[in-house]
Amino acid sequence: MTFELQSPLDMHIHLREGAMLKTVAPLSAGTFAGGVVMPNLVPPVDSLARLQAYREEVLAGVGDAVFEPYMTLFFRNYTREELEAARDHVIGIKLYPAGVTTNSEAGVAVLEEAEPTMAIMEELSIPLLVHGESGGFVMDREHEFLSVYEHIATRFPQLTIIMEHITTASALALLDRFEKLHATVTLHHLLVTLDDVAGGLLDPHLFCKPIPKRPEDRSALLAAALAAHPRLMFGSDSAPHPVDQKECCGCAAGVFTAPIAVQVLVELFEAHDRLDRLQDFISGNAQRIYGLHPPEKTVLLEKADFTVPARYGDVVPIKAGQTLSWSLSGS
């Protein structure tokens, strides 16, 4: 039995830099035709020159594989000239509230001060991608941030807004209220809840931001993904950290899913008898929402056991050592 996907897209991906990029970029390019590359490097990608240099590094890391890196700028207050110059080189600008996640220290502290830039982005049709968490209690952070999305969507009704890596039923419900509001969801938030992170033994490899939430949140997200909710796109938020920063005493947030995301999604959608919706979830919706024309790339999978490696380089992937029921054809 085989299954074919056309030009799968990962609409939220951390490719890092240097040696880590060389490890992980080919893994994303192995199964995806393109991906939205996050800009939270140190220092952040917040100029066109830096973005273009980073794009070259990504392309070099990808090598011969067909893979389009959709680049993002790190949100700061940009001038109109900067935004006009960047417009054709970015898929969007990623806003991080200051300090809420990995390498977000340079993020936005006072959202009101970001509004002039948002106004120009709306005018120039540059999408706003947002890590939407407040500084509150960890289980409440996304829910508390929803009022910010409401505010931005109301104030800038023509601005395309992407709620990145949503984790709650309430974020999902907000999609119905604003026409230009969209969301990505990760693989791991379709699979796990806080129970999997901290309900049995503590699993640092499932620790991430936003933290996985309650069973009813996961159920709502899964149902929406399986239905290929038209405002929802797949974005892995695959976030590699070296193993010594995960199995330690203050471990970093991020789940590494890139190399097996497609295979696990096929397994998941098949288990729910919704394989027919996967193409839209993993590519069609993103193409429509962003107006993308990704490179043509056929990914062929076959129903054959595949045991997930313990590590890729020094990164431990999700489901390390477990056996999946689908594998890449020829792998």
Give the shortest CB-193-to-a second copy separation in angstroms: 7
Verify binding: residue 138, a second copy, rule CB under 8 A: yes
Verify binding: residue 311, a second copy, rule CB under 8 A: no
Q: Which is nearer to a second copy, 253 or 324 (CB)?
A: 253
Q: Which is nearer to a second copy, 103 or 287 (CB)?
A: 103
Verify binding: residue 53, a second copy, rule CB under 8 A: no
55-82 residues labelled b (16+ CB within 10 A) or e (exposed): bebbeebbeebebbbbbbbbbbebeeeb
Piece of 48-56, 111-119, 197-205, 220-228 that binds a second copy (CB under 8 A): 197-205
Is 237 catalytic? The answer is yes
CB 196 within 8 A of CB 126: no
Verify binding: residue 214, a second copy, rule CB under 8 A: yes
Verify binding: residue 59, a second copy, rule CB under 8 A: no
Distances in whole angstroms, Cα of residue 254 to Cα of each of 90, 188, 218, 291: 24, 10, 18, 29
Verify binding: residue 197, a second copy, rule CB under 8 A: yes
SS3 of residue 162 by DSSP: strand
Instruction: For residues 76 and 188, give the distance between their C-alpha atoms in angstroms, rounded to a whole number.
Output: 29
Give the shortest CB-246-to-a second copy separation in angstroms: 8
Bridging pattern class, strands 298-302 and 2-6? antiparallel
Among 128, 289, 316, 318, the residue binding a second copy under the rule CB under 8 A is 316
Residue given tokens 């992980």 in the structure block: 24
Q: Which is nearer to a second copy, 68 or 133 (CB)?
A: 133
Verify binding: residue 220, a second copy, rule CB under 8 A: no
Give the shortest CB-102-to-a second copy separation in angstroms: 10
Number of residues that bind a second copy (CB under 8 A): 27
CB 231 within 8 A of CB 182: yes
Among 46, 203, 302, 314, the residue binding a second copy under the rule CB under 8 A is 203
Tell me whether residue 157 is exposed, middle or buried, using C-beta atoms within 10 angstroms of its C-beta: 0 to 12, 13 to 18, 19 or more.
Answer: exposed
Instruction: For residues 210 and 197, give the distance between their C-alpha atoms in angstroms, rounded to a whole number.
Output: 12
Query: Residue 251 contacts by C-beta under 8 Å, 6 or more apart in sequence?
Result: 204, 207, 241, 245
Q: Which is nearer to a second copy, 251 or 328 (CB)?
A: 251
Give the shortest CB-257-to-a second copy separation in angstroms: 16
Task: Restricting to residues 241-280, name those near a second copy by CB under 8 A.
Answer: 246-253
Among 201, 276, 296, 330, the residue binding a second copy under the rule CB under 8 A is 201
Secondary structure (DSSP) of 64-114: TS--EEEEEEEPS---HHHHHHHGGG-SEEEE-BTTSSTT-TTSBS-GGGG
Instruction: For residues 284 and 216, give the distance between their C-alpha atoms in angstroms, rounded to a whole number.
Output: 27
Q: Which is nearer to a second copy, 116 or 215 (CB)?
A: 215
Piece of 6-14, 45-53, 137-145, 155-163 that binds a second copy (CB under 8 A): 137-145
DSSP code for 164: T
Closest CA to 167 of 205, 147, 138: 138
Q: Which of 10, 46, 196, 237 is catalytic?
A: 237
Q: List residues near a second copy by CB under 8 A.
A: 137-139, 193-195, 197-199, 201-205, 207, 211, 214-215, 246-253, 316
Q: Which residues are catalytic?
A: 237
